[in-house]
């Protein structure tokens, strides 16, 4: 079994879900007392969020790049950046290490295509929904991407940073997200990407009939596949 390097803390709420998903999958596949070989480097999210707000992506790349190098030096065989938004600097991080970075958007695109879908809605932070680093990567895989209107994007972003990253789960926010999902479905979205690793804390498959693509789960499963030589 190969060792998974987890670059987390963005936020630790969702990083803990990665850890659970990965170990549950290893136990299911290997049985008995098996668990994942993994290394976790958890950053101070306040520092990263400050870089995001200031638009200082170079400093964010330096912080995460050094963390990634530490994971490689400690024996990680691959890198999983446990956040969608910071894949904005995925190429910069990859340049600093020699182990493969498992890209969350590529993993998600493969899952969508496996279901034969082409047009999807995207929920995430404002950076993820509005900038091209994520949508562009999806489009490279032949997908058409819808995002909510401006007011709804602000709501989605506010819930992520003001509630989910702090471990707060509110029923009114869940209802708002489901209404936004329904709106995108009405616009032709065949599925919805939960494009922030915290959204899995709020919304699940049982909540809506439209197919959901939980990037946290999909990313974790791709890491498991790599670790077991199945990827």
pLDDT, position 119: 98
pLDDT, position 6: 98
Gyration radius of the chain over CA positions: 17
Which of the listed CATH numbers 3.40.50.300, 3.40.50.1970, 3.40.50.1860, 3.40.50.1980 matches domain 105-214? 3.40.50.1860
Positions of CATH 3.40.50.1860 in the chain: 4-103+218-227, 105-214
> Rounded to an integer, what distance in angstroms lies between the CA atom of residue 231 and that of residue 226?
5
Q: Is domain 4-103+218-227 in CATH 3.30.360.10, yes or no?
A: no
Averaged pLDDT score across all residues of the chain: 97
Judged against a pLDDT cut of 90, whether residue 16 lies above it is answered with yes
Mean of the pLDDT values across residues 154-176?
A: 96
pLDDT band at 39 (very low <50, low <70, confident <90, very high): very high
Choose the catalytic residue: 15, 83, 125, 197: 83
Nearest CA-CA partner of 76 in 96, 94, 100: 100
Choose the catalytic residue: 51, 82, 165, 196: 196
> Rounded to an integer, what distance in angstroms lies between the CA atom of residue 116 and that of residue 54?
39
pLDDT, position 58: 96
pLDDT, position 111: 97
Strand duo 4-8 + 38-42: pairing = parallel
pLDDT, position 49: 96
**Residue 182: DSSP 8-state:** H
* Whole-structure pTM value: 0.94
Let me know if 196 is a catalytic residue. Answer: yes
Let me know if 208 is a catalytic residue. Answer: no
Judged against a pLDDT cut of 90, whether residue 141 lies above it is answered with yes
Judged against a pLDDT cut of 90, whether residue 18 lies above it is answered with yes
Nearest CA-CA partner of 84 in 8, 154, 139: 8
pLDDT band at 231 (very low <50, low <70, confident <90, very high): confident
Q: What is the pLDDT of residues 88-107, one digit of tens each?
A: 999 999 999 999 999 999 99
């Amino acid at each position: 079994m190969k060792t998974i390097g987890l670059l987390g803390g963005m936020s630790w709420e969702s990083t803990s879900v990665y850890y659970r998903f990965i170990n549950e999958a290893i136990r299911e596949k290997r049985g008995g007392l098996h668990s994942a070989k993994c290394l976790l480097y958890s950053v101070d999210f306040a520092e990263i969020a400050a870089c995001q707000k200031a638009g200082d992506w170079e400093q964010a790349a330096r912080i995460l790049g050094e963390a990634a190098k530490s994971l490689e030096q400690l024996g990680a065989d691959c890198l999983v950046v446990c956040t969608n938004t910071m894949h904005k600097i995925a190429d910069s991080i990859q340049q600093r290490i020699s182990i493969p970075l498992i890209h969350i958007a590529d993993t998600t695109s493969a899952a969508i295509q496996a279901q034969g879908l082409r047009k999807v809605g995207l929920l995430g932070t404002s950076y993820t929904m509005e900038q091209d680093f994520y949508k562009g990567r999806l489009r490279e895989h032949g997908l058409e991407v819808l995002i909510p209107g401006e007011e709804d994007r602000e709501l989605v972003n506010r819930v992520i940073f003001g509630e989910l990253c702090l471990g707060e789960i509110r029923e009114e926010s869940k209802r708002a997200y489901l209404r936004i999902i329904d709106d995108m479905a009405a616009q032709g979205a065949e599925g919805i990407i939960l494009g922030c690793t915290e959204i899995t804390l709020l919304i699940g498959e049982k909540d809506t009939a439209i197919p959901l693509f939980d990037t946290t789960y999909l990313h974790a499963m791709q890491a498991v596949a790599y670790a077991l030589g199945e990827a």
